[in-house]
A = this chain, B = another copy of it.
């Protein structure tokens, strides 16, 4: 079907409203200039620090899918040693081995910190000091004090600081949150999150990760806070080594159950595994007085087969680049939008800190085999 030319005279046809949709084939609301935001005089210039998997993913999204942003440059100590084809595919942005050179570039309005966790706080502080806005992958730091220090610098510098809790931008999870907030299921009683990776990361990675709660559950902790609309007061935790003995030898668990208790009386249960053989299992269920909402996994296709072997359909998407493909684009759009409007980000540094505190309380609850109150963690720090 081909509808009439651009401005041919049938503006009041039933198809006109739909025509407006075609500008958004990704189903993602984009603030159209002239529509609900002032026309940007220029795109937001962005630099990426750290060009591993997640850095490249952001670079791709910024250069391809976020019209209000421009990828200015990339910084990574090893960037010149590898194949540069992927850089050319991004339209050949500038490349640096020293992130300070990137930070210094006048076109860089904001940076994405995608380097190893141990460097996050340092780079964040340097960027903030230079007045650059920051999108920081989680966690900001494994230490609470250092995280607070970075937040203080960012606050004083007046920059926009967004933390990489990408799942808040998943269409299904965001939908659950919105409907909970709108009261569709009334008072929230129990939140349940299942979050399982398809395969464990390298042991070297595990060793520096801060443990399963800080590395993996932290996303789920943030999501529970987001959905509950309330603060966590206490946690209980359990964990064991089921998938890979080497993870146990590295001092971590690979299977965990975490309970969160909220100020408003809601409870949350998170179950994690480092390895689900059927793929990336990311589900949420929220039970309230007026009903239950749940987000099931997304799948590559909607094809079903019926054979002698039964009724079959796709596994969930294999891992986060597939499952959270849209969420990754949407979180960048939200960040760029906040930068443009100098507005508070949808997920800020305080959210990162809150989730870190809870994750560390979980570490303690696992060790002590009892309920740990968040205030204890605060006091320990003070002591």
Contacts and interface: CB of A to CB of B under 8 A. Distances in A.
Nearest to A198: B18
A189 B255 contact: yes
Contacts of A273: 189-190, 287
A322 B4 contact: no
A42 interface: no
Nearest to A64: B64
A10 interface: yes
A5 B52 contact: yes
Contacts of A158: none
A303 B311 contact: no
Contact of A315 (B187, B271, B310, B313): B310
Contact of A53 (B18, B303, B311): B18
A24 B370 CA distance: 44
A255 B6 CA distance: 29
Interface in A70-106: 76-79, 81-83, 85-86, 89
Contacts of A82: 6-7
Contact of A319 (B18, B78, B289): B18
B290 A296 contact: no
A172 B273 CA distance: 25
Interface string A252-265: 00010101010001
A382 interface: no
Interface residues of A, number: 135
Interface stretch (A222-230, A235-243, A338-346): A235-243
Contacts of A172: 301-303
Given A176-B303, A297-B302, A4 B52 contact: yes
B6 A52 contact: yes
Nearest to A33: B85
Contact of A56 (B23, B56, B301): B23
B267 A269 contact: no
A292 B306 contact: yes
A143 interface: no
B306 A201 contact: no
Contacts of A22: 53-54, 56-57, 60, 321
A68 B238 CA distance: 48
A189 B242 contact: yes
Contact of A289 (B76, B243, B309, B322): B243
Contacts of A162: none
Contacts of A61: 25
Given A255-B190, A304-B293, A205 B277 contact: no
16 contacts: A2-B52, A4-B116, A6-B76, A6-B82, A10-B202, A13-B204, A18-B318, A19-B53, A238-B267, A257-B267, A257-B269, A277-B291, A291-B308, A295-B303, A308-B315, A311-B315
Given A2-B50, A7-B81, 9 more contacts: A2-B117, A5-B115, A13-B205, A26-B325, A171-B301, A172-B302, A179-B303, A240-B267, A278-B291
Query: 3 closest Cβ contacts across the A-B interface?
Result: A7-B78, A291-B307, A6-B51
